[in-house]
Amino acid sequence: MQATGVLENAPAGIADPLRDLGVRTGPDGGRLRVYSPNATRLELCLFDPRDSAWVERTVRMRRDGDVWTATSPLLTPGRRYSIRADGPQGPRHAFDRTTHLLDPYARGVVRVDEGGWRSVVVDDGFDWGDVQRPGTPLADSVIYEAHVRGLTKQLRGVPPHLRGTYAGLAHEATIAHLTELGVTAVELLPVHVFASERRLVKQGLANYWGYNTVGFFAPHMQYATLAAQRGGPQAVLTEFKGMVRLLHEAGIEVILDVVYNHTAEEGRDGPTLSFRGLDNSTYYRQDDSGRYLDMTGCGNTLDHSREAVQRLVLDSVRYWAEEVRIDGFRFDLAVTLGRDEHGAYSPTSPLLTALRDDPALAGVKLIAEPWDVGLGGWQTGGMPDGWSEWNDRYRDTVRDFWLTDLHVLRNGGYPRTSVGAMADGLAGSSSRFSEERGPLASVDFVTAHDGFTLADLTTYNGKHNLGNGESNRDGTDNNHSFNFGVEGPTRSEKVLASRRRAMRNLLGTLLLSAGVPMIVAGDETGRTQRGNNNAYCHDARLTWVGWTLADWQRDLLEVTKRLVALRRANPALRPVAYARLDEEVAGASEMHWFDASGARMDQATWTDPENRTLQYLARAVPTAEGRNTTLVVLHGEESERRVTLPELDAIAAYTLLWSSADDDARDTVTPAGGTVDVDGPALLLFRAD
């Protein structure tokens, strides 16, 4: 079934042909509906409750168009089941009537033996009490990217049996850290049930990050407590919902990193778990010879030009948003979701627009990783209105200004990043995103799960990935990092001081920029992965957040808390719209730019590669939060610079709120037109009074 959009091929007045796929239960048992236009026979297999290898009963499914249906009084919560499919042979097909397949809509999934999986019927009921979604406005959001297991595996305030689990994430000790830090949302690395690639298993490694999905409706069982795992998928789902409820009760939103671009079935010679066996030619992009068209780098690519695949994604997102009360989604390799039948990307693609426009998803945050590995795959700034995007250009600009440019300057060269590029990032990346989308289209980040940690950015010039088993070939070589003179650990106080200041500059820039900031778990305490910038295959102390802190790490934690608090206290730093010259724009911050002498920036100063000092004054258009004006001063050289604070109407003085050069230096008042000596490289924040 080929279609241009979700349900656009349904004739007027005819019921949705793809409604209620998966299992629906009632007093007389349950009904299973499965989409497979090319199959010639499907059967439902119901397994003995005590033996997952023993088929207790089979039910031949009846066909109605492209959807197959079976009913059974045994299809009730707790029942394990599978699907077997038969159909034509040929280069684009992979039917095998002996293979037990997962229901693509299964809300419970268990592994029964090496390589074997079973779907499980679950009951969606849950007592949410009177707990409501936090509903944090995007402009007020501070996102905390975390791994369910890695965040609490070593957190001593969490009881040992809860560490590394959904329940551990919702424990009072974890929530206390999140609330004290001031973040508004946790963005969890994939929690859809996933499997490790066969290559990793052979090497004795595992897929730690989880970007290898088996099923799009079921939570990963191994992140639940042992008690919940023994209780089965129903208990796991209950624990997951309990985690969401407790986080919501604390005012913290939950965002899921979701992987709808490919599956764990890998390449054509990979394991057949579900989609391939049900209808390979429908679900995956292939050429006429059956060769998979891999736009994800993971062996296969789901074909989002097909209505059934669009509907699968939309139904999965709806399920997590409605039944599990998830507040937002970060879509891995989101460009793949917007490619048409010819493989061309369009921001007006049916799926991307349907996700945005679906009334059931009103208020749900949509965040794109705006690239994939296909032709034309880099699309930062090219997602639809209503979406936010990971801004990799912001990341690289900020890293260059505070790190690699200093390396260049030490060697007598010219830096690659102008103050103009930094100004654009500070003000919400208007060069990248349209005026209609505004600064909240940009999810600002300096680090993510993929790449160096914050501490490693300042400690390593190159990657150190030998432990990944690929002879250091994997992971990017384009790190935009600087070790400040020594590769790896050192006892040099001078080098260590430079590294720690660089971390403060990076965090300060991130949390004082317009847009939506994202912090990676552990960066607030200087977590290291010993130079591994692709630690996807290590479920170990290397990747877990450490909670035994040295004095400098506790200091960095306090800096992060203060920066988050300063962001929250100053609406001028959180505009929802771009300013326009000589016009008052609701929700925007009026912007003024000055050089070190306090003079307005001119074209020559903007483009001068030797100019490394910038003053950014932001004045919030009066809102319910009142008037607010801030001044950010950046000085990107390892030298001292005298800076004259700008004179502007109605500003009498500036109060220092924070300095990366000396976190204890605050509350100093300097009159407008007065001078401050900035010991660089440094970032300072003032409130204008």
In a domain, 127, yes or no: no
367, β-bridge pairs: 330, 388
- Domain CATH for 212: 3.20.20.80
In a domain, 17, yes or no: no
420 and 485 part of one domain: yes
532 and 638 part of one domain: no
Instruction: Tell me the Ramachandran region of residue 105: left when phi exceeds 0, alpha when psi lies from -120 to 50, beta otherwise.
Output: alpha
Classify residue 73 as exposed, middle or buried by CB count within 10 Å of its CB (0-12, 13-18, 19+): exposed
524 and 463 part of one domain: yes
How far apart CA 471 and CA 624 sit, in angstroms, is 57
Q: Please say whether the beta carbons of 260 and 372 come within 8 A.
A: no
Lowest-confidence segment of 266-280, 295-309, 498-512, 614-628 by average pLDDT: 614-628
Instruction: Tell me the Ramachandran region of residue 248: left when phi exceeds 0, alpha when psi lies from -120 to 50, beta otherwise.
Output: alpha
In a domain, 624, yes or no: yes
CA atoms within 13 A on the CB side of 418: 12
In a domain, 3, yes or no: no
404 and 511 part of one domain: yes
Q: 3-state DSSP call for residue 222?
A: helix
pLDDT score, position 297? 96
612 and 466 part of one domain: no
458 and 536 part of one domain: yes
Average pLDDT over the chain, rounded to an integer: 95
Report, in angstroms and rounded to the nearest whole number, the Rg of the chain calculated over CA atoms.
Answer: 27
DSSP assigned state of 685: E
Residue that terminates a domain, selected from 544, 569, 594: 569
pLDDT score, position 13? 40
How far apart CA 600 and CA 597 sit, in angstroms, is 9
495 and 442 part of one domain: yes
Q: Please say whether the beta carbons of 10 and 308 come within 8 A.
A: no
DSSP assigned state of 10: S
Residues in the chain: 689
- Using the predicted structure, report yes or no on whether residue 7 has a pLDDT greater than 60: no
pLDDT score, position 624? 63
297 and 416 part of one domain: yes
Task: Please give the single-letter amino acid code of residue 200.
Answer: L
154 and 87 part of one domain: no
How far apart CA 316 and CA 217 sit, in angstroms, is 6
The residue to which tokens 């074997």 are assigned: 116
SS3 letters across 42-91: EEEEEEECCEEEEEEEEEECEEECCEEEEEECCCCCCCEEEEEEECCCCC
**Which of 347, 323, 301 minimizes the C-alpha distance to 122?**
323
**Which of 508, 462, 499 minimizes the C-alpha distance to 659?**
508
CA angle centred on 341, ends 335 and 342, rounded to 5° = 85
Backbone angles phi, psi at 687, to 5 degrees: -100, 130
Per-residue pLDDT band at 37 (split at 50, 70, 90) = very high
Number of domains in the chain: 3
3-state helix, strand, coil in the chain (%, to 5): 25, 25, 50
CA atoms within 13 A on the CB side of 217: 27
- Domain CATH for 57: 2.60.40.10
Interval 325-332 mean pLDDT: 98
CB contact set of 581 (below 8 Å; sequence gap of 6+): none
pLDDT by residue (tens digit) across 125-176?
Answer: 999 999 999 999 999 999 999 999 999 999 999 999 999 999 999 999 999 9
pLDDT by residue (tens digit) across 223-261?
Answer: 999 999 999 999 999 999 999 999 999 999 999 999 999
Tokens of 512: 């004082």
CB contact set of 197 (below 8 Å; sequence gap of 6+): 207, 212, 264, 266
Catalytic residues: 332, 369
Q: 3-state DSSP call for residue 94?
A: coil
Per-residue pLDDT band at 92 (split at 50, 70, 90) = very high
In a domain, 574, yes or no: no
Name the percent of the chain lying above pLDDT 90.
92
Lowest-confidence segment of 92-96, 113-117, 516-520 by average pLDDT: 113-117
Classify residue 67 as exposed, middle or buried by CB count within 10 Å of its CB (0-12, 13-18, 19+): buried
188 and 99 part of one domain: no
How far apart CA 116 and CA 45 sit, in angstroms, is 14
pLDDT score, position 132? 96
pLDDT score, position 2? 40
Interval 332-356 mean pLDDT: 97
- Using the predicted structure, report yes or no on whether residue 188 has a pLDDT greater than 50: yes
Q: 3-state DSSP call for residue 353?
A: helix
**Which of 452, 504, 508 minimizes the C-alpha distance to 480?**
452
Residue that terminates a domain, selected from 518, 544, 569: 569
Interval 215-226 mean pLDDT: 98
368 and 496 part of one domain: yes
DSSP assigned state of 127: -
- Domain CATH for 627: 2.60.40.1180
CA angle centred on 199, ends 196 and 203, rounded to 5° = 95
CB contact set of 556 (below 8 Å; sequence gap of 6+): 500, 503, 504, 507, 524, 525, 526
- Using the predicted structure, report yes or no on whether residue 102 has a pLDDT greater than 90: yes
Per-residue pLDDT band at 413 (split at 50, 70, 90) = very high
**Which of 193, 189, 230, 44 minimizes the C-alpha distance to 117?**
193
Residue that terminates a domain, selected from 528, 543, 569: 569
CA atoms within 13 A on the CB side of 54: 5
In a domain, 133, yes or no: no
DSSP assigned state of 234: H
Neighbours of 109 (CB within 10 A): 28
In a domain, 484, yes or no: yes
70, β-bridge pairs: 32
- Using the predicted structure, report yes or no on whether residue 183 has a pLDDT greater than 70: yes
Pairing of strands 96-101, 109-113: unpaired
Interval 631-638 mean pLDDT: 97
In a domain, 341, yes or no: yes
255 CA to centre of own chain: 8
How far apart CA 246 and CA 252 sit, in angstroms, is 9
424 and 520 part of one domain: yes
H/E element holding 3? none
Q: Please say whether the beta carbons of 437 and 512 come within 8 A.
A: no
Per-residue pLDDT band at 12 (split at 50, 70, 90) = very low
H/E element holding 498? helix 493-512
Strand boundaries in 169-307, DSSP class E? 185-188, 253-258
How far apart CA 144 and CA 546 sit, in angstroms, is 16
Alpha helices in 358-430 (DSSP H): 392-399, 405-410, 419-426
pLDDT by residue (tens digit) across 592-631?
Answer: 999 999 999 999 999 888 999 999 999 997 666 668 999 9
pLDDT by residue (tens digit) across 393-406?
Answer: 999 999 999 999 99
Strand boundaries in 335-420, DSSP class E? 365-368, 388-390
292, β-bridge pairs: 286
Interval 523-549 mean pLDDT: 97
Domain extent for 89: 22-120
pLDDT score, position 14? 42
